[in-house]
Amino acid sequence: MKKSNHHIIIFILLFLSACLPLRGQSTLSQEINEQGKFENWIVREIKESGLIGGETKYIYNFNTGDTIKGNIPYKAPEGTVFIPTNIMANIIGIVKTSNQVFPEKRGDSYCARLEVLEEAVKVIGMINIKVVAQGSVISGELYEPIRDTKSPYSKLNYGIPFTERPAGIKYDYKADVGHERIRATALTPRKALGEPDYSDIVVFLQKRWEDEEGNILAKRVGTAYKRIREDVPEWINGEFLPIKYGDITSDPEYKEYMGLRGKGAEIENFAMNSEGKSVTINEIGWADADETPTHIILWFSASDGKAFYGGVGNKLWIDNVEIVY
């Protein structure tokens, strides 16, 4: 082989190796890791209806660009991994916003701050309505505008396509947890429940399929679950949370709240079926430990409870989320 050809081949190999992802890491994993830095935020300026005060409110989404002005339903760009549960609702013509996930400066960059808040609304300046809202960040999609308060989880499309088997995730976090859980649903009297509320970091790997009736069924391939039960006042950087594969019910660290989810569960996860209908993801069993998933749900929440319940004052800061192989 001529020396010049030898050099060309070496150059090509070096170029290709520089373009390839790290071993075990796909382009999607790299995208998760990049978006998990929570560096890019966009502001939406929305005017609420006069019936509830007519204030101008600001809510945040993960994106880049100038402030979006106007009561415009938001749709995340193609390729978006994470969404905050900040929403605009338009219920029988009444526009209302809700924001519980905020950008916060961290050194020269940003992180996400998730909160449990109690929102009070005065209707015609007289009737006080209170609602507990939980700040969460999930992998998936949120459908705007919200048209009703029924089945709040059905307004989210949980999870994104994912066919890999990582060892776990790592992240930076701190937390203020353990505040008393409050129930405030707008339809029932506000009630303090006398129990603490905690924050959750969750990964579910699922193998999904759709039956002839449009139901989405799944087997749980992998589970990673951290419930934060104590305050973490200073940042813990690079904590690793392992994904455990197959049936984890015999694992010494298994808790009931880590179990399978489906229709009728306290917290239901939803996804859009092939007919464009939001349906419950029914986990019907545990997959074999060597199974390949079809979807990943990454879920960070300031509260461990169901919608309209939460420890008002809970906060979870999250940054630098990465898939680890």
User: With 50 as the cut, is the pLDDT of residue 23 above it?
Assistant: no
Residue 6: pLDDT band by 50, 70, 90 thresholds?
Answer: low
Predicted TM-score (pTM) of this structure: 0.90
Fold of 25-324: Jelly Rolls (2.60.120)
Q: How many helices (H) and strands (E) does the chain have?
A: 2, 24
Residue written as token pair 């019936």: 51
Rounded to an integer, what distance in angstroms lies between the CA atom of residue 25 and that of residue 39? 21
Work out the average pLDDT over 118-134: 81
What per-residue confidence (pLDDT) applies to 26? 78
If phi over 0 gives left and psi between -120 and 50 gives alpha, with beta otherwise, what is residue 53? left
**What pLDDT, in 10s, does the model give residues 177-196?**
999 999 999 888 899 999 99
H or E segment to which residue 218 belongs: strand 216-228
For the chain, what is the mean pLDDT?
A: 92
Residue 17: pLDDT band by 50, 70, 90 thresholds?
Answer: very low
Residue written as token pair 């594969």: 245
Of 309, 59, 285, 275, which is closest to residue 183 (Cα–Cα)? Answer: 309
